Amino acid sequence: MSVPTGFPVEPWSVRETALDVDHIAQSESVFALSNGHIGLRGNLDEGEPHGIPGTYLNSFYEARPLPYAERGYGYPESGQTLVNVTNGKLIRLLVDDEPFDVRYGQLLSHERELDLRAGTLVRDVDWVSPVGKRLRVRSTRLVSFTQRAVAAVEYVVEAVDQPVRLIVQSELVANEVVSEQRADPRVAAVLERPLVALERDLSAHGATLLHRTRLSGLQMAAGMDHLLEAPGRVEDETRASDDWARTTVVCTLRPGERLRLVKLLAYGWSSQRSVPALRDQAAAALTGARYSGFEGLLAEQRAYLDDFWDAADVQVEGDPEIQQAVRFGLFHVLQAGARAEGRCIPAKGLTGPGYDGHTFWDTEALVLPVLTYVHPEAAADALRWRHAILDRARERASSLGLAGATMPWRTIRGEECSGYWPAGTAAFHVNADIAAAVERYRVVTGDDQLEVDGGLELLVETARLWMSLGHHTRDGAWHVAGVTGPDEYTAIVNDNVFTNLAAAHNLRTAAAGVLRHPGLGRRLGVDLEEASRWRDAAAAVHLPYDEELRVHQQSAGFTHLPEWDFEGRRDYPLLLHAPYVDLYRRQVAKQADLVMAMYWFGERFSPEDKARNVDYYERRTVRDSSLSACIQAVMTAEVGHLGLAHEYAYEAAMIDLRDLHHNTRDGLHVASLAGAWIAMVAGFGGLRECGEQLSFDPQLPETITRLQFSVRWHGLRLAVDVEHHEVTYTLRDGDDASVTLLHAGEEVEVTPAAPVTRALEKRLPQLPRPVQPPGREPARRR
């Protein structure tokens, strides 16, 4: 499969300088706009040509049955698929009865720019109609961060060399036809006409359509209103039917004259509120947007992003591609979670239909660590959503004969949506990943309120799950049997190291949380004996180790499995070319697993262990998951393979800008984009949480000359400036504040008046640079 030639390297934007119809679906994902509530794929304004049309509302889904050839006890019975809701992006243009369509006439130029500081998608087109009428069209699209229910488009048409009669048709369209997708288990199911019309409401310059889903019973409203500027005589009318509404504008332009149409959109949905309430919500949002005006919406958007970038920006000198990509990644991570507010953060954000719009462990493992350090309010919202689905998780645990709560492997609204699959059903580590995110939020922000509001209950119920999964053997060691770790190519195993360490961390943090909040602990039914059992299990957790090879086993017996034939069987991703039953029984890893355990729980491994483990697992990890490269970047940097770490960081950052996995068309890899930040800040900045202290041990590869970033710590902004020979820590807030951190194990205090600079010594690897499986070397920088 061919890939796009790429985007020009610019520090604060992603620009497409010509329309590539063959890769239009990929660009639709790259140019998607969202605020965590509304998601608009980067489809062309006129709707055609398109790859995958997409307008999404977070967690607005349709239910569908999960078929099985043979049922089994405890198998989930239904799934959930994100709905492509009413499309409000459409603005069709006719020029003297000729449709404006880039496939006809003469396209003189076509450029689109995603502006990462303005939060807008700007499109400029210079086009000559089939009968020779030349036009310039400029559209500016945004999804508002400050007005959660609002999106807007400014659409400007200029006549260039001849008078023209224009007809602009601004539309709302429900139940768009979506073509069948590829035979890839990672893409979405196709829903046929999922929306049932309820009501339509026309206004002077717009309309609102209300629909519900057929099976899940969710109700939604989509409204549009228009502001119009044009010279001379202008006429407009609005009509509507069950599944469409259209405002039509007619005018005539002389050369040099312009028509300006501002389209305001409002979206809302609910499983409980009435149709009139939803209709009124859309009307109120449109009124607020009209009050702000398009210029006001632009100003609000810029101010919001100025504040975000002031605390979140990562500056990379020496690698302009990564500089662009890490900002692109941060922007989309923000878009995925900024205004989710009580709903999940899907694996694709709201950029495409991939994975049916489900959330996985990716969110807590990779996305929330970033948001916790740069936009903690969004991280707190995501964890409150996990608490909101806790009752469903308790029901799931009960159905599996387990105590506590079992969080779903994949879901939209809290029910398990993964049909029985060993690599998912037994991946109980998702529960400990959530617990780790709760604890990280408390440590980083210094705020106990989330723990009081539900975080401690999450810790307690997941701890109870682990006690029903784990067991002590006669020698006193604590084991967890029959699980799947992060590596989905090794399923239903005993003592997966990552799972065991994550479970132990979950148990310790739950016990510590009960000590901090004894009254709340009693209300949750935790007594001293139960908390003591948690601590005992955590202290006795078993970590399998191969004494002969002197490496940790990813799971018990892993190093004794047959090797994969990498020379003869290298059709990647392996999941599309080999049966799982074959993958499960061999030494081949889909993604970082034991390596991720060393990143998260580094205190449990010696430097020598880390070096040998990285060397061993590099040779067996094929990175068929987009979650892997960033973790490998962190650990190869820690053990001194800085050039290799740079290549992995590049791969994590460029996964969608270069379509490295050939599936960007289905939506962006939000966790990998978050991983670009992790690779830079945890990999080369050396960021870790060491107990309840912030810790850094930075080191740069030769090709990066300087790295600057900020993190939020207990409400303060700490700036870190890394060069090859020294690092400087600067506290940017609070005249009387201070932060005590660890630099390479040395405790230092930083105040606004007294930045701290420390010299860096070159980190040398203990072993030669490891090789990767044939054909799975990391993506090379261009």
Instruction: Give the type of residue at 261.
Output: L
Scanning 274-406, the segments in alpha helix (DSSP H) are 275-312, 320-337, 362, 368-374, 376-388, 390-399
Angle of CA points 555, 561, 564, to nearest 5°: 110
Smallest CA-to-CA distance from 637 within 554, 687, 701, 708 is with: 701
| Number of Cβ atoms within 10 Å of the Cβ of 498 | 26
SS (H, E, C) 441-488: HHHHHCCCHHHHHHHHHHHHHHHHHHHHHEEECCCCCEEECCECCCCC
Q: Which residues, other chains included, contact 129 with Cβ-Cβ below 8 Å and sequence gap of 6+?
A: 95, 96, 98, 100, 104, 105, 135
CB half-sphere exposure, 512, CA atoms < 13 A? 16
Residues 46, 416, 488, 530: which is the catalytic one? 488
Does the active-site annotation cover 488? Answer: yes
Contact between 450 and 442 (Cβ < 8 Å): yes
User: How far does CA 627 lie from the centroid of its chain?
Assistant: 11
362 is in an annotated binding site: yes
162 is in an annotated binding site: no
DSSP β-ladder status, 314-317 and 234-240: unpaired
Smallest CA-to-CA distance from 173 within 231, 238, 86 is with: 86
Contact between 705 and 315 (Cβ < 8 Å): no
Q: Alpha-carbon Rg of the chain, whole angstroms?
A: 27
Residue found by looking up tokens 């006429």 in the block = 235
Query: How many helices and strands, by DSSP H and E, does the chain display?
Result: 20, 32
- Cα gap 17→1, rounded to integer Å: 22
Euclidean distance between the first and final Cα of the chain, in Å? 19
Contact between 525 and 404 (Cβ < 8 Å): no
127 is in an annotated binding site: no
Q: 353 vs 245, 322, 545, 767, CA distance in Å?
A: 24, 27, 41, 43
Structure tokens at 459: 């810790």
- Cα gap 647→781, rounded to integer Å: 7
- Cα gap 766→751, rounded to integer Å: 36
Cα torsion 215, 216, 217, 223 to 10°: value is -110
**3 state DSSP class of 54:** coil
Smallest CA-to-CA distance from 191 within 79, 347, 34, 348 is with: 79
Contact between 774 and 567 (Cβ < 8 Å): yes
95: left (phi > 0), else alpha (psi -120 to 50), else beta? beta
CB half-sphere exposure, 225, CA atoms < 13 A? 19
591 is in an annotated binding site: yes
**Dihedral pair phi/psi, residue 237, rounded to 5°:** -150, 155
Structure tokens at 372: 């916790």
- Cα gap 653→704, rounded to integer Å: 15
Q: How many residues does the chain have?
A: 782
| Binding site per annotation, positions | 361-362, 590-591
| Binding site per annotation, positions for substrate | 361-362, 590-591
Enzyme catalytic residues: 488
